[in-house]
Amino acid sequence: MTQAYAEVIGDPIVHSKSPLIHRFWLDALGIDADYRATHVRPDELAGYFESRRGDPAWRGCNITVPHKERALDLVPDPGGVRATIGAINTVFRDQDGVIAGTNTDAAGFWTPISALDLKGRPVAMVGAGGAARAVLFALARMEVGPVTILNRTPLKAAGLLASFGLKGHIAPLDARLPAAALLVNASTLGMTGQPSLQLDLSPLPDDAIVYDLVYAPLQTGLLQAAEDRGLDAIDGLEMLIGQAALAFELFFGAEPPRDRDEELRDRLTS
């Protein structure tokens, strides 16, 4: 019988860390399946889903830039992700073999902060793109207080808060931070090859958490500034591994061994 497989698709795709993560878990659990990276250009996306739909060995795929929104037009969205996050990052087969799209980014973001009580507490977030939408989805469910969005193009953030039922403010990148209990960087600032994120963290309270979604590099300038101020920090690998874990269960029907996260993190950073 042909070996079962899942894959990550994107354009470009060569730098994706997903194959390393999923193969680590497949090996750890002794599951005879593969997880690969497949380069799919925008004009190939519809044909890609058409061909995979009829392949019984295909368990599904993760979707990365630039296909997360467009894929919504090509696969069913039983969970209503279009109306909320507006993008899918995982396509899987349900119990009847029917393919469905979902988004595991929001839950992947939420897992490392799930034990925090942020109800009613102010939050600040940098960025207003796709990742920011997944963050706002999770924050709304945590019933956080006012959310201040700082973005290069403040207008792009207008309407975002209301669409998630949140209250707060929109501000430019050089605005003073509020006394937020959680600061999230959901922009590309601080990524390798991008400008750094320059923020004055002094308005944050001493128990604030700083969460950077950027994972390349892992130790960003923002996380360094948080450590220098003695604040707890969460890096982008936490969310990356978290969203992958949920997708892995959907593809292979098994829970990944999260007790081996430290070993996995070492591999991802070596």
186 binds ligand NAP, rule: CB under 6 A: yes
Q: Given candidates 53, 156, 229, 265, which one binds ligand NAP under the rule CB under 6 A? A: 156
53 binds ligand NAP, rule: CB under 6 A: no
Amino acid at 241: I
103 binds ligand NAP, rule: CB under 6 A: no
Picking from 59, 61, 86, the residue whose alpha carbon sits closest to that of residue 72 is 86
Nearer to ligand NAP, 115 or 155 (CB): 155
183 binds ligand NAP, rule: CB under 6 A: no
166 binds ligand NAP, rule: CB under 6 A: no
Nearer to ligand NAP, 58 or 132 (CB): 132
Distance, in Å, from the CA atom of 181 to the CA atom of 120, rounded to the nearest integer, reads: 10
Instruction: Show the CA angle centred on residue 22, arms to residues 19 and 28, nearest 5°.
Output: 130
Per the annotation, the verdict on 68 as an active-site residue is yes
Q: Given candidates 151, 161, 182, 209, which one binds ligand NAP under the rule CB under 6 A? A: 151
10 binds ligand NAP, rule: CB under 6 A: no
Nearer to ligand NAP, 94 or 141 (CB): 141
Query: Is residue 66 reached through a cis peptide bond, with omega within 30 degrees of 0 on the bond before it?
Result: yes
Answer for the pair 214, 238: CB distance below 8 angstroms, yes or no: no
130 binds ligand NAP, rule: CB under 6 A: yes
For residue 71, what are the CA distances in angstroms to 78, 80, 81, 101, 128? 14, 14, 12, 8, 20
CB of 206 to ligand NAP, least distance (A): 26
Closest-CB residue for ligand NAP? 129
For residue 58, what are the CA distances in angstroms to 4, 46, 121? 6, 16, 43
Q: Given candidates 144, 171, 214, 233, which one binds ligand NAP under the rule CB under 6 A? A: 214
Distance, in Å, from the CA atom of 235 to the CA atom of 248, rounded to the nearest integer, reads: 21
Is 195 in a helix, a strand, or coil?
Answer: coil
**Catalytic residue IDs:** 68
Which residues lie near ligand NAP (CB under 6 A)?
Answer: 105, 108, 127-132, 151-153, 156, 186-189, 191, 194-195, 213-215, 236, 239-240, 243
